[in-house]
Structure 1
Amino acid sequence: MIKYFSPLALGLCALPFVTTAAFAEAPDAVSDAVSQDRLRADVEALVGFGTRHTLSSQTDARRGIGAARRWAEDQFRASSKACGGCLEIATPETMVSGSRIPDPVRLVDVVAIQRGTERPNEVVIVQGHIDSRASDVMDAKSDAPGANDDGSGTALVLEAARVLSQHKFPTTIVYAVLSGEEQGLFGGKLLADYATQQGWTVKAVLNNDIVGGSCGSDGYCDDTHVRLFSEGPRADATDETRAAARRFGGENDSPGRNLSRYITGLADGVQDDLDVRQIWRADRMGRGGDQLPFLEHGYPAVRFTVAVEDYEHQHQDLRTEDGVTYGDTVDEMDFPYLAKVTRLNVASLAELAKAPTPPAPEADAAVKTWTDVTWQPVPGAVSYNVWKRRTTAAGWEAEPVVAGTEMTHAKLDGLRGDDWIIGVSSVAADGSESPIAAAVPGGGFRPLEQK
């Protein structure tokens, strides 16, 4: 048996970063290439378009959503030129209408695709939305700087492309700048539909929305945490899946929830001054983000957002009232904080792009004193780790129950399955490890219709 102890178990301090180009660096070395100055310059450029409202001009050369999209596409093309043409640029589009879009409008996402060298159909997506809004969600005329919401997420995506395109990975990374979020998550739906049309195996979606501030409207500040939202019960669950989960567990083991645990495990190996605060909700109370359309498709997706939101500088007209300044402007942002969140995203993308897809395990422990765990082979995996955690525990135990097995089944003697959640991760030849998929109804990382 190959003895392999997970980076998650060992705190990731010694986890090697190895690309298919035999490039060996630790995750923090890769993410150290993130530039705070470039992030600021990108946010300032985005604010310079005046408004990026989805219903603003698509033809004006300097103002509005069209000019902003073309600028973002130019940034991707510059990154592609710097890596010898390694990025394919796509601009999926559709016509949309809705309660916040009374007349049909052309909606365009700007996407850069860095194809994997071995399994290009396996895809990891990082995204942010480029559109902005003022107090009135229908106001397409007033200035709407959208510095933090979501110039910060857009800048993060552009910077991730600059950094990671300098390396090669066995699987594909997609960098996406989305439109139409403020009008009803239309850009996220467009890209989720596009991913399905392309036949991609979507391993993870990292949505970044409002990731560049550290102080709230009440004066409370926190620049040492980022919130990571993940769904509990799957959005694409069927009646059959929900019934099975009620009997056998799974309400706390959606792919998104285990993706959240995985990223949390990576964080300490990236930097010392930013921890993940897992939020076990699909999004904030009463609100939404572009990860939600992916969840509805059955794709694992999470949302990064600041530890503390500032409501005076979000969705507000530029103004001063009773001595209080309102508006989502650059001067209210914390760029050292944005750089930290960007570094965590870059490290997470790199690890996910190197690792195989998680398996879809099943556990059988009925009326016996042991547990049998089985799964199908995963492309790119040379071995598997089997994990356990108490049904009441937040996270997986520190070390696997079985480490480095090349088989696709394991008999866990003496482990009475009624008392435990069991999971399996896949491991590549270079030691890169996937998130853990739980052996519960709906625990696999594929859409349920593809299970």
Structure 2
Amino acid sequence: MRRRRSSGTRREGRGAPASRRQGRRRGGTDRALCGAGTRGDTPWPVDYRRSATAFLLAAALAGGAARGEGVRDPVADAVSTVSPERLAAHVARLAGFGTRHALSAGSGEGRGIDAAEAWVAARFAEIPGVEVERRRVRAFRLSGGARRVAAGWPVSSPAARFLFGLAGMGFGYREPAMSNVIARLPGREPERLILLSAHLDSRPGKRFDWRTDAPGANDDGSGVAGLLEAARALAPLPRRASVWFVAFNGEELGLLGSRQLAREIERAGLRVEAMLNLDTIGGTTTARDLPADPALPPPGTLLRVFSEGRPQHRWLDPSPRRRLAAGPSEADSPSRQLARYVRAAARRYVPDLQVELIARADRIRRGGDHFPFLRRGVAAVRFTEQREDYAHEHQDPHVENGRRYGDLPEFVDPEYMAKVTRIAVATAALLARAPRAPEEVRIDTSHLGETTTVRWRPSADPEIASYRLLARRTASPDWEIERDAGTAGEVTVALPRDDWWFAVQAVAKDGTPSLPSLAWPSDR
């Protein structure tokens, strides 16, 4: 895999003038708490696991209750439609193409990546309201033995092609038939994107072997199946943001499809507010055969969600822009905020699968299609099964010493895959229905004091009912306190700013919360 580099920006701004600050100083001190116990402004011990669930529970039910609909929840309705049987059928069909290696186009009728792309596009097109596109990935490969050298390089200029043709010692080059499959559910605010992704290509034991069977049932047929099922579940829901489902190509050859799409989205001026990358979510049925340890939960009970904090290696982009995007603490990067949101959604809608937040961008020395988006400052996380069984990943199908190797459908657990897909559906549904996250959220540091004043720029969005202040102790992994902050753009609490992290969410009229925006210390 290509190693990761990241970049991004965050806007800085000054707080309100002193006269206005004094006028509003007490405006938010007596707001009621939502889901956490306090006396006045003094925090009492809080079960942050319960409080994290509480705000999404309130969000899910508030809109329906206000309309007299009882407890009917459209997000829960969408989650309930996810079918293990359909997921299993999709995985079996994807594995049935023999190989989905990115260089396998033209392998014969019903075989290869081109046949798989056509099938996936056709399944998306069957869903009402979905717009489907197969977008060519602009890479080239050399024919003959030289393709082993240059396969997967995103080269587009004629001069570079000529030089690679010479390097191929007369073998020449040709364009591969490699495309991303993009399905769109348009929202009322089309410039806002929620992106769900997986990769369509597969590989056997040797990276550039496009002839050997590579069923790719789990890596990443499970993720593509999850995209198809998520699109079907989310299609009936009204949305503010657009939701894109992207089956990337060329992931196994260096993130080719995701690198290209990240560039295209950036150039188009679109805003990806969150990315959920579903990669290897099949929940291998052989997990019980792996080495056990008392510290590990039982197989099939946990989903790993990887999220990036600050770049931790010298080969990552050390620029000030990228460091700024990570936030003032390792635990408060945009991706870490998204990961918490995922876990809160899972606790509300899929309580029988635990979400474990992994404080890494991905597995050690490995990567995925969220990396090109992380580089651009996008909040992006990776969903991956509890434990990977490498006898059934990147292996040629064969039997050795009585053990069967290969990434085959029989080693995928449909029930587990359905739970993971439900978490993706719940998270995407909430994000697509939510307002934009607040902007210019700052802690007033113009004076010393025993209280904390947080300010932000109120939005003109008529669908925002109020804002919510979140707070947690600096060593706590989840938000511990949620407090109604009104609509004035300022709230003061009797919590010392040195000991707590703060953030602000926008809350829609139907109760759906936005992603949190971390409160930064203001410029003096």
Give the TM-score range, shorter chain.
0.7 to 0.9
Residue 125 of structure 2 is aligned with which of 68, 77, 85? 77
Counterpart contact for 2:56–2:348, Cα < 8 Å:
yes
Structure 1 or 2, whichever has the larger Rg, is: 2
What is the TM-score when the length of structure 2 is the normalising length?
0.76
In structure 2, runs of 5+ residues without a counterpart are 1-27, 36-50, 141-148, 154-172, 293-297
CA-to-aligned-CA distance 1:301-327 (integer Å, 9 cap, x gap)? 000000111100000001111222110
Residue 137 of structure 2 is aligned with which of 82, 86, 94? 94
Cα 1:11/1:438, change in 2 over 3 Å: closer
Shift of 1:186: 1.2
Cα 1:17/1:113, change in 2 over 3 Å: farther
Where does residue 62 of structure 1 map in the other structure?
Answer: 110
Shift of 1:219: 5.5
Cα 1:168/1:17, change in 2 over 3 Å: farther
1:10 aligns with 2:54: yes
Shift of 1:239: 1.8
Residue 406 of structure 1 is aligned with which of 487, 498, 501? 487
Task: Give me the whole-angstrom Cα distance separating, in 1, the residues matched to 2:423 and 2:325.
Answer: 35
Where does residue 5 of structure 2 map in the other structure?
Answer: none
Matches of residues 419-438 of structure 1 in structure 2 within 5 Å? 419-438=499-518
Counterpart contact for 1:92–1:191, Cα < 8 Å:
no
Shift of 1:345: 0.7
Aligned to 1:331, the other structure's residue is in SS state: helix
Amino acid at match of 1:224: T
Where does residue 49 of structure 1 map in the other structure?
Answer: 97
Where does residue 383 of structure 1 map in the other structure?
Answer: 466
In structure 1, runs of 5+ residues without a counterpart are 442-451
Residue 299 of structure 2 is aligned with which of 216, 222, 234? 222
Amino acid at match of 2:354: D
Counterpart contact for 1:17–1:26, Cα < 8 Å:
no
Task: Give me the whole-angstrom Cα distance separating, in 1, the residues matched to 2:62 and 2:194.
Answer: 17
Shift of 1:105: 3.3
Shift of 1:59: 7.4
1:148 aligns with 2:218: yes
Counterpart contact for 2:278–2:384, Cα < 8 Å:
yes
Higher relative contact order (CA 8 A, sep 6+): 2
CA-to-aligned-CA distance 1:162-208 (integer Å, 9 cap, x gap)? 11112221221111111111111112112222322332221110000
Matches of residues 16-415 of structure 1 in structure 2 within 5 Å? 16=61, 24-25=72-73, 27-58=75-106, 60-79=108-127, 83=128, 86-96=129-139, 100-101=151-152, 105-117=176-188, 119-214=189-284, 215-216=286-287, 218=290, 220=292, 222-233=299-310, 238-239=319-320, 242=323, 249-360=328-439, 361-365=441-445, 367-369=447-449, 370-378=451-459, 379=461, 380-397=463-480, 399-400=481-482, 402-412=483-493, 414-415=494-495
Amino acid at match of 1:141: R
**Identity rate, percent:** 37
What is the TM-score when the length of structure 1 is the normalising length?
0.88
Counterpart contact for 1:96–1:106, Cα < 8 Å:
no
Where does residue 498 of structure 2 map in the other structure?
Answer: 418
Task: Give me the whole-angstrom Cα distance separating, in 2, the residues matched to 1:423 and 1:352.
Answer: 17
Aligned to 2:421, the other structure's residue is in SS state: helix
Cα 1:238/1:422, change in 2 over 3 Å: farther
Shift of 1:231: 0.2
Cα 1:389/1:69, change in 2 over 3 Å: same
Shift of 1:66: 0.5
Amino acid at match of 1:334: D
- When the two structures are aligned, how many residues end up with a matched partner? 428
